[in-house]
A and B are shown apart, each in its own frame.
Chain A
Amino acid sequence: MVGLKGLKEWSNDLEKFPVIMTVPLNFLLNLIALFPLFILIYASQTDWSPSTGSWFKAHIVPGHNIIRMIGDSLFQTAILRTVAIVAVATIAEFILGLILALLFVEEFRGRRVLVSLFLMPMMVIPAVSGYMYFMMFQGHGPINRILSILTGTHWDVAWLTYPQYALMAVILMDIWQWTPFMFLILLSGMLALPPDPINAARVLGASEFTIFRRLMLPMMKRIIMIALILRAIECFKLMDGIYVMTLGGPGYATQTISMWIYEAAFKYLDYGYVSQIALVIFVTMGIISWFAIKPLRGE
């Protein structure tokens, strides 16, 4: 019964036993995360396309996809376009969300109902909001009608057929849908602020603006960072609304990086190349997020 004795001794080793007991779970968890990553890294170094065979039969072409990516103007434009959308939409959502949060931080009659109403766009499925905005920006749609009423002149613009207007419409859709998210987070942050410093400042005669600028904003720094990072990451992945609204068009005018990846992968079947792009974006986003979160870690 040496084996049993050995097992008993081994299990009594308090250093090893707990570690070994967690290995299966750790293995599974890491496998879920790492195995696709290994495949992604491998695929990124191949010319794999399902239309020419299975992934393990694809030619290994080290560095080829990176060189291709550097020279790919469509990819670069899609990245720049996405960054522009993220910057404009996230900043606009933050400003609007902050204004709304300031308006709703004090209790008033009907506040709960209004808060629920303001949060509703966030609950709409992005594809549905894409279709709503597709309809709204039609030549005979409500946007033109409203503008005609407001200005007293006949508006007849086919918004989604012009590259610059279509991009604007896409950004508006994102702002409409995700400002409530900013509002929700910022309002929660404001409601969680300790009242004493604010009350003390009021007693000492500080103006509301000074209180906001000197007290509230610094105290909310963390939550603002988190809200901006979360929203920027989500906005970077923007796709479903655009897919329904413009299909990335006119031409490539509203093609975000997610749309571009979808098309390159599932229409052009460039799996190897897309793996390379996905890897680069993954690493880049990781680095950006690391730097973005860094200030929070020090406090």
Chain B
Amino acid sequence: MSEEKKEVSRRGFMKTAGAGIVGLAVGAGIGYGAAMSMAPTAPAAATVTTTVTATPPGLVPKKRPAGETVLERALIAAKNFVKENNVPPGSPFNVLCPSGLVAAIKAASTKFAEATGVKFEFIGVPHEEVFTKAMLEATQKAGAYAALAARPRMIGEFVGAGLVHDLAEYVWYYDPRMYGEPDGYPYPHCYSTTQNVGKGIYCLPIDADWGNHAFRKDLLDDPKEMDAFEKQYGYRMKPWMGKTPVPQTFKEYFDFTEFFHRPPKMYGNGEARSLGNGYMPFFLYFHSKREPVMYPFDDDMNPQIATKEGIEAIQEYLAMKKFHHKDQSVWGYTEQVNNYVKNGLYAGGFWPPSMSHFAFADPASVVKGKNITAPPVGRPRPDGTIFRRGAIMGGWGMFVCTTYKWPELGYLYCQAVASPEGLIIGSTVPGSWMDAQRYNQIGDRRRIDKTFRDYYADEESNIYEVSRVAAEVCPPILSINGENEYLLTLDKELHRAYTGEIDAEKAAKNTEAKWNEITDKIGRARQKSDWKWLKALYMFPY
């Protein structure tokens, strides 16, 4: 036998390995593409097991499902669904939600778990990360989640990515009490934090975050302070309800802010100006610049931010800077609240109602019982009335993922959590920062006691009325595809202007250019259509 040693040719090895790799990689690529294109599409949302009479929102279907209340209807239907579709006990039901809402959603899910036997897992992530995690699921289609608790401002991207189901037919059939008193969502605010992209309904709201003012009541009730205020500005502020005078117009708001600006112990204003939060109070200034509402776009999706009114709104927003703490542009809500609660740092601000949760939870609060809520300030009309428009500071809603096997069951879960009964459970459980969303929540004594009582010194009727008005004058943000991108752009440019890098006009122009770019990227015709439809849903009562 020859002992001749054969050298392994490097070239030969590379050729063999290379050919194999390229062949398999190309094969895998083609196979994956083919598999994806041939994969069964997610079950259509309209798979309601009972005959559905498609009716427009708000109208009662001819044949109602069993159950008197919204929660009952969800639980009975879910129980039947599980039976009819042989859903095995212990089937996983994963819910992606912000960490701060886990306690609330978990508590509101208990009855649903008992009725269906599904096994819940709540995946809590920092609230800034919900969008990223959800969009990764949209890309991967891994079936990681049955339902999402996400910000409604993400809805446009979710729908565009095919991540969430259109729930319209379920809504019409199972009637989750969409709007109106005594226990529906406030109209038209509900559309701001919910559901609509085009003609579809994609989520049920569970947390509102309409902005309202909080002022230092102890200062406003002090006759010496008010006399000095009158001496300086030549008028006295009037109460909105009850006895305490509060700022009601922008002029009064600016005067109040200036008057009580007494650094370093107290700053006049505590509106958010940090990255990621700063755009929210901006809409307080912006929406009220034109009647019935100043929208970010006109009917043709032309940005209105760089119009005369838009630039003025930015200038007003920036003018508050001199009454802010110097670190305002880097403080998130946590730092703000800590400084307010522990040091009484602000005389007033425009905040989401959840600010009070933090203040309530802190036993060391120096501002407990020293605050009064007030509706968004406005601009006086010639007839003496005040034109008010509020702003959405966030909000959360329940979505059903398209990758979940039983979309109807997913919907029924969302209905159970978002029901008037479910939301009371969620918003009163310890550790919850779920804000009121439905009328019955706004007026619920248990919720008021938990959320407001130790914090605000309002009369109860004031709390209810402030919440109601703040909700009802809240225009939509941008429930269309690209919403997150539009708002992020605005936020960045406002921040640049606030920190002095650019002026208001430049910020407006930059935002306008980027908004046009986003619209063109997604498709102007589609955006126009969705925007028009969304705007058509809004009617302002006053």
Residues of A within 8 A of B (CB): 14-15, 18-20, 22-23, 26-27, 30-31, 34-35, 38-39, 47, 49-56, 134, 138-140, 156, 158, 160-163, 246-253, 263, 266-271
A252 to B502, CA, bound (A): 12
Our pick among B17, B139, B275, B484 for the contact of A247 (Cβ within 8 Å) is B275
User: In the complex, which residues of chain A have a beta carbon less than 8 angstroms from the beta carbon of B500?
Assistant: 162
Contact check, A38 vs B9: say whether CB atoms are below 8 A apart: no
A45 to B518, CA, bound (A): 19
A271 to B135, CA, bound (A): 11
Q: Is B156 an interface residue (CB 8 A)?
A: yes
15 extra interchain contacts, Cβ-Cβ under 8 A, other than A26-B17, A251-B496, A252-B492?
Answer: A14-B5, A23-B20, A31-B21, A31-B24, A34-B21, A35-B28, A39-B29, A49-B521, A50-B139, A51-B161, A163-B501, A249-B329, A251-B502, A266-B132, A268-B518
A26 to B28, CA, bound (A): 16
A266 to B154, CA, bound (A): 12
User: In the complex, which residues of chain B have a beta carbon less than 8 angstroms from the beta carbon of A252?
Assistant: 492, 496
A93 to B195, CA, bound (A): 52
Q: Which residue of A lies closest to B139 (CB)?
A: A50
Contact check, A47 vs B521: say whether CB atoms are below 8 A apart: yes
Contact check, A27 vs B330: say whether CB atoms are below 8 A apart: no
Sort A-B residue pairs by CB-CB distance and give the 3 closest, nearest first: A251-B496, A51-B160, A250-B499
Q: Which of B19-41 contact A (CB under 8 A)?
A: 20-21, 24-25, 28-29, 33, 36-37
**Interface mask (B468-485 → A, CB under 8 Å = 1, otherwise 0):** 000000000000011011
Q: Which residue of B lies closest to A266 (CB)?
A: B132
Contact check, B326 vs A15: say whether CB atoms are below 8 A apart: no
Q: Which residue of B lies closest to A246 (CB)?
A: B330
Given the contacts A26-B17, A139-B325, A251-B495, A15 and B6 also touching, CB distance less than 8 Å? yes
Given the contacts A19-B13, A23-B20, A251-B495, A51 and B275 also touching, CB distance less than 8 Å? no
Contact check, A247 vs B276: say whether CB atoms are below 8 A apart: yes
Contact check, A269 vs B20: say whether CB atoms are below 8 A apart: no
User: In the complex, which residues of chain B have a beta carbon less than 8 angstroms from the beta carbon of A163?
Assistant: 499, 501
Contact check, B12 vs A51: say whether CB atoms are below 8 A apart: no
Given the contacts A19-B8, A56-B33, A161 and B327 also touching, CB distance less than 8 Å? yes
User: In the complex, which residues of chain B have a beta carbon less than 8 angstroms from the beta carbon of A134?
Assistant: 330
Contact check, A19 vs B16: say whether CB atoms are below 8 A apart: yes
Given the contacts A15-B8, A134-B330, A54 and B36 also touching, CB distance less than 8 Å? yes
Contact check, B488 vs A268: say whether CB atoms are below 8 A apart: yes
A161 to B29, CA, bound (A): 48
Q: Is B138 an interface residue (CB 8 A)?
A: yes
Residues of B within 8 A of A (CB): 5-9, 12-13, 16-17, 20-21, 24-25, 28-29, 33, 36-37, 131-132, 135, 138-139, 156-157, 160-162, 274-276, 325-330, 481-482, 484-485, 488, 492-493, 495-496, 498-502, 518, 521-522
Contact check, A161 vs B329: say whether CB atoms are below 8 A apart: yes
A250 to B326, CA, bound (A): 13
Contact check, A50 vs B495: say whether CB atoms are below 8 A apart: no
Interface-centre pick from B131, B276, B499 (highest chain A CB count, 10 A): B499
Contact check, B496 vs A50: say whether CB atoms are below 8 A apart: no
Contact check, A162 vs B160: say whether CB atoms are below 8 A apart: no
**Within the complex, what minimum Cβ distance (angstroms) separates A133 from chain B?**
12
A34 to B25, CA, bound (A): 8
**Within the complex, what minimum Cβ distance (angstroms) separates B480 from chain A?**
11
User: In the complex, which residues of chain B have a beta carbon less than 8 angstroms from the beta carbon of A246?
Assistant: 330
A53 to B138, CA, bound (A): 9
Contact check, B25 vs A38: say whether CB atoms are below 8 A apart: yes
Could you show 11 A-B contacts with beta carbons less than 8 Å apart? A20-B16, A26-B21, A50-B157, A51-B160, A54-B139, A161-B499, A162-B499, A249-B330, A251-B492, A266-B135, A269-B157
Contact check, B37 vs A56: say whether CB atoms are below 8 A apart: yes
User: In the complex, which residues of chain A have a beta carbon less than 8 angstroms from the beta carbon of B135?
Assistant: 50-51, 266, 269
**Within the complex, what minimum Cβ distance (angstroms) separates A22 from chain B?**
7
Contact check, B17 vs A250: say whether CB atoms are below 8 A apart: no
A271 to B160, CA, bound (A): 14
User: In the complex, which residues of chain B have a beta carbon less than 8 angstroms from the beta carbon of A270?
Assistant: 521
Interface-centre pick from A26, A51, A161, A250 (highest chain B CB count, 10 A): A51
User: In the complex, which residues of chain B have a beta carbon less than 8 angstroms from the beta carbon of A162?
Assistant: 499-500
Our pick among A158, A250, A263 for the contact of B495 (Cβ within 8 Å) is A250
Contact check, B501 vs A250: say whether CB atoms are below 8 A apart: yes
Interface-centre pick from A49, A54, A269 (highest chain B CB count, 10 A): A269
Contact check, B275 vs A248: say whether CB atoms are below 8 A apart: yes
Given the contacts A27-B24, A161-B326, A249 and B17 also touching, CB distance less than 8 Å? no
